[in-house]
Amino acid sequence: MMEHPENSSEYAGLQVNAGVIPMGTRNPYLRRGRFAQRHLTASEYVEGILKGNTSVLGQAVTLVESTHPAHQQMAQEVIEKCLPYSGNSIRVGISGVPGAGKSTSIDEFGLHVLREYGGKLAVLAIDPSSERTKGSILGDKTRMEKLSVHPDSFIRPSPSAGSLGGVARKTRETIILCEAAGYDKIFVETVGVGQSETACHSMVDFFLLIQLAGTGDELQGIKRGIMEMADGIVINKCDGNNVDKCRLAATQFCNALHLFPMPESGWTPQVLCYSGFYGTGIKEIWDMVYAYVAHAKANGYFEHRRNEQAKFWMYESINEQLRNSFYQNPTIETLLQAQEQDVLQGKKTSFVAAKQLLDQYFRLLK
């Protein structure tokens, strides 16, 4: 019988095994730099975008979304160079509460629009949840299964960093890049949970509100001021034994719309029923969108709305940059904490604390 090693006088209890040379995490046979991403110059980005190269477009959008100052500077250069080639599209905002059927519908809407009108479609998003929870409501997974594999579509999830204003600005800048890349139809999807809809409305030509029947949303929409923004209200899931309920809801929405004054566009918002899942009623929705565009182009409102939006975004950018300059100032950052404590402990009023901080900030600027 073999002696147990522990009974040997030479046994020391522990034994050090010969080591194994660890495998590198890099493949040594791979030629250096073969797959390394080369940084493009601004002109190279622009050239790629104008050629409709989706990989370059994707990289440029990443640049727009980056918070790195060097990236931001480059992004602004690219956007500026793309600006003369932008604007040639129909921008449609699509909003609805989670579960309203946005992904299902956008998949169908997109296929319909590409089939009937040709061209190229970009689907962008504004996800408001990124601000507070850092999570996303719309989700990052590809939710539009058919559209995502269509050669003429470009789908991009919501930018995730920063305030809602920041997220929305990035989406707006992405619209410019997409248009320069030849995307003549832009969908901007947003979750119907509040301010993100206003942001979305401020960058689209037509704002489409997806509603469900029997959820009491008819009143909610009025309360939140969303219905006033809608150029069209569409009631989804009008299928099976839900049809009657949807028709009833459509009447209620129509009645509610009469409570509002005539929109500036001179267009009476329409209410339509459809089923995103079964693909019924989709054509009528897009006939409506295109009828609106023809109407608004004829009476000059299309141009007017875009000009107003450009003005709005100029002020938004000023506000954002002022805010960032203030909050990212190192001296202010330190003072803020102290002032915050004073306010919390009732030593100072909020107004006085704010004034002192701003005075200090303006002194620092001198």
Q: What does each C-alpha distance from 211 to 82, 280, 329, 343, 351 come to in angstroms?
A: 36, 16, 44, 43, 42
Nearest distance from C-beta of residue 236 to ligand GDP, angstroms: 5
Nearest distance from C-beta of residue 182 to ligand GDP, angstroms: 27
CA atoms within 13 A on the CB side of 56: 19
Distance CA 144, CA 112 (A): 13
Nearest distance from C-beta of residue 138 to ligand GDP, angstroms: 7
Classify residue 119 by its DSSP letter: S
> Percent helix, strand and coil across the chain, each rounded to 5?
50, 10, 40
Toward ligand GDP, which CB reaches closer, 89 or 275?
Answer: 275
Q: What does each C-alpha distance from 133 to 39, 41, 100, 170 come to in angstroms?
A: 32, 35, 22, 19
Nearest distance from C-beta of residue 274 to ligand GDP, angstroms: 7
Beta pairing partners, 95: 190, 209
Toward ligand GDP, which CB reaches closer, 58 or 98?
Answer: 98
Nearest distance from C-beta of residue 205 to ligand GDP, angstroms: 22
Nearest distance from C-beta of residue 244 to ligand GDP, angstroms: 14
Classify residue 194 by its DSSP letter: S
Toward ligand GDP, which CB reaches closer, 106 or 296?
Answer: 106
Toward ligand GDP, which CB reaches closer, 42 or 233?
Answer: 233
Distance CA 87, CA 337 (A): 44
Toward ligand GDP, which CB reaches closer, 48 or 276?
Answer: 276
Toward ligand GDP, which CB reaches closer, 216 or 346?
Answer: 216
Nearest distance from C-beta of residue 255 to ligand GDP, angstroms: 24
User: Which amino acid is residue 355, in one-letter code?
Assistant: K
Distance CA 220, CA 228 (A): 12
- Give contact residues for ligand GDP (rule: CB under 6 A): 96, 98-104, 236-237, 239, 275-277
Nearest distance from C-beta of residue 330 to ligand GDP, angstroms: 42
Name the E strands within 140-204: 153-155, 185-191
Bridge pairing between strands 185-191 and 90-96: parallel
Q: Are 157 and 140 in contact (CB under 8 A)?
A: yes
Toward ligand GDP, which CB reaches closer, 242 or 339?
Answer: 242
Toward ligand GDP, which CB reaches closer, 145 or 333?
Answer: 145
Length of the chain: 366
How many Cβ atoms are within 10 Å of 319's Cβ, its own excluded? 11
